[in-house]
């Protein structure tokens, strides 16, 4: 076969389409030794084979991003391990819908999104602060644990004996010499699918069980991970995959891990106002436009009704009227309960004394939605949170095309545009691109996708106001309604990008793939 173990190039941008076999070079690794601290704080010496910057499509647009790294454990704590049938963690490091490259990574868990912590290089996302606090977004395959330390799922997975595949993917800011954007929607999901196809097409050459691919990602990466899970084998992506010369194989995956997925973007402005509408904006202290906020809330009510979802735990139909009760009962109170139970009696008493809105009775936390919102405090984003009237968000850029860097993707924000756009209709390609970027239509309606992932791990901090809490909860409810195995919980008092139970995720992989 033809070994495609390409060196990272710095952006060929479509000018030099390559052909060739997509055959994984089994000998193209270096052996590395590293010490990995597991979720319990114990150190493990791991010897592993590391394949770097393997181009995963035959006709790459930009190999720097369209390449993946593979890590395979051969010895853990001095004992030989055989990972040939192990689950494969497929860990993307996308943050902010930005480009993410693993081409310069020197080992497992070291790739990342440009400008993101835990990996990448370069300046922070140009629009990370456009609609928010200026806080750098997540990504870079690093998340923050309960002690405020960075957690690397790829490293934890390797130390658990799993194969780790880390794909790069194009992102929204990439522009070629003609000024054309080549990483906007749906580039990132197409790339991840192509990478899955590459892994599966190389079954037996890449060690690991290609029928047990478990995806992970955080925030925009969590959105893409859930989309990858929901959309397995969908023909909607076929023409894009063919253009890239993706391997001819299934792109379905076995399980999805998604932390704070920023998804369902075309409905996220309404959901955001429903959730955080009452609060002032972080940093500025400004009250948002009440009229706009209310109009968006009514859009959410309509959308939520159209989904026809039922809450977990026998809750019944989920509506804009009862969703606060649902979030409280199903997620927020249990989350606080778990948090408080883990504290010493003295620490719990101190926390409860500081947070008198919580009633602690019979080992359970109770509080009102209004008090919960007050506790979370200022919202991170202004209104609309995603499709800004002035086209200033990262999502506006995500839906850019050609030489147009930013576009509207909701009729409402187009109508209220402040940039001089007098159009009355969204651009013709927008509806199809929204469809390609949203997991929800694959999970709801008359024809849910049979090739979707059937195992879901969804996590989110209760203080994360990067999107509405309903986004994750709807994803969980939609998957559960199809009979899928869903583990969804919220981390109490944690913000954007948190991962306080990574060890449980590693164990969950063993459980669902076992
Ligand atoms: C991310 C955060 C956001 O607030 C957003 O709108 C999109 C992506 C992120 O951290 O990846």
Look at residues 4, 14, 2, 11 and name the one whose alpha carbon lies nearest to residue 65.
11
Give distance in angstroms: CA of 235 to centre of ligand 1.
27
The number of angstroms, rounded, from the C-alpha of 230 to the middle of its chain's C-alpha atoms is: 13
| Ligand 1 pocket residue status of 95, Cβ below 6 Å | yes
What's the pLDDT score for residue 387? 98
What's the pLDDT score for residue 280? 87
Mutate to test the pocket of ligand 1, among 115, 126, 137 (most ligand atoms within 8 A of CB): 137
Give distance in angstroms: CA of 86 to centre of ligand 1.
32
Cβ(135)–Cβ(127) under 8 Å? no
Q: What is the rounded distance in angstroms from the CA atom of residue 158 to the CA atom of residue 59? A: 30
| Ligand 1 pocket residue status of 219, Cβ below 6 Å | yes
Q: What is the rounded distance in angstroms from the CA atom of residue 142 to the CA atom of residue 109? A: 8
Phi-psi region of 74 (alpha: psi -120 to 50; beta: other; left: phi over 0): alpha
This prediction has a pTM of 0.92
| Ligand 1 pocket residue status of 466, Cβ below 6 Å | yes
Atom of ligand 1 nearest to the CA of 219: 11
Atom 5 of ligand 1: nearest residue by CA position: 96
Mutate to test the pocket of ligand 1, among 92, 93, 97 (most ligand atoms within 8 A of CB): 97
Atom 8 of ligand 1: nearest residue by CA position: 96
Give distance in angstroms: CA of 110 to centre of ligand 1.
20
Tens of pLDDT along the chain (514 residues)? 333 433 333 333 333 333 348 999 999 999 999 999 999 999 999 999 999 999 999 999 999 999 999 999 999 999 999 999 999 999 999 999 999 999 999 999 987 776 554 433 333 333 333 333 333 344 567 777 766 677 899 999 999 999 999 999 999 999 999 999 999 999 999 999 999 999 999 999 999 999 999 999 999 999 999 999 999 999 999 999 999 999 999 999 999 999 999 999 999 999 999 999 988 888 888 888 999 999 999 999 999 999 999 999 999 999 999 999 999 999 999 999 999 999 999 999 999 999 999 999 999 999 999 999 999 999 999 999 999 999 999 999 999 999 999 999 999 999 999 999 999 999 999 999 999 999 999 999 999 999 999 999 999 999 999 999 999 999 999 999 999 999 999 999 999 999 999 999 999 999 999 9
Cβ(328)–Cβ(311) under 8 Å? no
Give distance in angstroms: CA of 143 to centre of ligand 1.
14
Look at residues 470, 400, 428 and name the one whose alpha carbon lies nearest to residue 181.
400
| Ligand 1 pocket residue status of 260, Cβ below 6 Å | no
Give distance in angstroms: CA of 346 to centre of ligand 1.
37
CB pairs under 8 A, 24+ apart, for 185-188? Answer: 185/398, 185/399, 185/433, 185/436, 185/437, 186/237, 186/240, 186/433, 186/436, 186/437, 188/94, 188/97, 188/220, 188/224
| Ligand 1 pocket residue status of 133, Cβ below 6 Å | no
Q: What is the rounded distance in angstroms from the CA atom of residue 166 to the CA atom of residue 461? A: 24
Atom of ligand 1 nearest to the CA of 467: 4
| Ligand 1 pocket residue status of 92, Cβ below 6 Å | no
| Ligand 1 pocket residue status of 262, Cβ below 6 Å | yes
Strands 163-167 and 67-76: antiparallel
| Ligand 1 pocket residue status of 440, Cβ below 6 Å | no
Query: Distance between terminal CA atoms of the chain?
Result: 33
What's the pLDDT score for residue 47? 98
Dihedral angle at the C-alpha atoms of 393, 397, 398, 404, nearest 10 degrees?
160
Atom of ligand 1 nearest to the CA of 386: 6
Give distance in angstroms: CA of 263 to centre of ligand 1.
9
Atom of ligand 1 nearest to the CA of 381: 4
Atom of ligand 1 nearest to the CA of 113: 11
In this structure, the number of other CB atoms found within 10 A of the CB of residue 495 comes to: 18
Give distance in angstroms: CA of 127 to centre of ligand 1.
10
Measured CA distances, 303 to 64, 275, 319 (Å): 39, 14, 9
Cβ(265)–Cβ(409) under 8 Å? yes
Atom of ligand 1 nearest to the CA of 218: 11
What's the pLDDT score for residue 57? 98
Q: What is the rounded distance in angstroms from the CA atom of residue 443 to the CA atom of residue 230? A: 7
Give distance in angstroms: CA of 29 to centre of ligand 1.
34
Atom of ligand 1 nearest to the CA of 380: 4
Place of tokens 């003609």: 178
Atom of ligand 1 nearest to the CA of 385: 6
Atom 7 of ligand 1: nearest residue by CA position: 96
């Amino acid at each position: 076969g033809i070994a495609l173990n390409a060196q990272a190039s710095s952006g060929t941008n479509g000018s030099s389409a390559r052909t060739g076999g997509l055959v994984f070079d089994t000998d193209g690794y270096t052996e590395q030794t590293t010490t990995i601290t597991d979720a319990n704080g114990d150190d493990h010496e791991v010897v592993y084979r590391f394949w770097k910057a393997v181009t995963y499509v035959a006709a790459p647009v930009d190999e720097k991003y369209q390449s993946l790294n593979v890590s395979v454990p051969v010895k853990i704590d001095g004992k030989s391990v055989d990972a040939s049938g192990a689950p494969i963690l497929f860990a993307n490091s996308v943050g902010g819908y930005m480009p993410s490259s693993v081409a310069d990574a020197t080992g497992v868990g070291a790739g990342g999104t440009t400008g993101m912590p835990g990996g990448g290089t370069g300046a922070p996302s140009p629009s990370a602060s456009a609609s928010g606090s200026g806080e750098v977004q997540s990504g870079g395959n690093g998340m923050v644990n309960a002690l405020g330390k960075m957690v690397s799922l790829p490293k934890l997975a390797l130390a658990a004996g799993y194969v780790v595949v880390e794909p790069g993917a194009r992102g929204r800011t990439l522009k070629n010499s003609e000024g054309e954007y080549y990483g906007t929607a749906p580039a990132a999901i197409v790339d991840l699918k192509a990478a899955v196809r590459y892994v599966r097409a190389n079954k037996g050459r890449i060690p690991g069980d290609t029928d047990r691919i478990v995806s992970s990602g955080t925030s925009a990466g969590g959105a893409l991970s859930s989309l990858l899970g929901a959309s397995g084998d969908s023909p909607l992506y076929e023409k894009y995959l063919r253009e890239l010369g993706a391997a001819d194989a299934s792109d379905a995956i076995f399980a999805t891990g998604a932390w704070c997925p920023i998804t369902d973007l075309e409905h996220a402005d309404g959901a955001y106002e429903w959730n955080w509408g009452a609060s002032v904006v972080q940093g500025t202290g400004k009250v948002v436009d009440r009229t706009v906020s209310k109009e968006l809330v009514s859009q959410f009510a309509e959308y939520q009704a159209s989904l026809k979802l039922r809450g977990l735990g026998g809750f019944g139909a989920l509506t804009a009227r009862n969703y606060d009760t649902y979030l409280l009962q199903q997620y927020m109170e249990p989350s606080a309960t778990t948090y408080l139970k883990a504290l010493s009696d003295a620490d719990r008493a101190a926390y409860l004394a500081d947070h008198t809105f919580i009633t602690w009775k019979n080992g359970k936390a109770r509080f009102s939605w209004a008090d919960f919102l007050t506790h979370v405090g200022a919202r991170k984003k202004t209104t609309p949170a995603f499709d800004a009237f002035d086209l200033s968000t990262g999502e506006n850029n995500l839906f850019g095309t050609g030489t147009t860097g930013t576009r509207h993707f909701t009729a409402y924000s187009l109508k209220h545009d402040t940039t001089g756009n007098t159009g009355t209709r969204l651009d013709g390609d927008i509806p199809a691109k929204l469809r390609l970027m949203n997991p929800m239509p694959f999970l709801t309606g008359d024809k849910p996708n049979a090739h979707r992932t059937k195992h879901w791990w969804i996590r989110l901090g209760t203080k994360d106001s990067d999107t509405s809490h309903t986004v994750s909860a709807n994803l969980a409810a939609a998957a559960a309604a199809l009979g899928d195995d869903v583990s969804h919980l919220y981390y109490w008092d944690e913000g954007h990008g948190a991962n306080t139970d990574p060890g449980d995720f590693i164990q969950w992989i063993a459980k669902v793939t076992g």
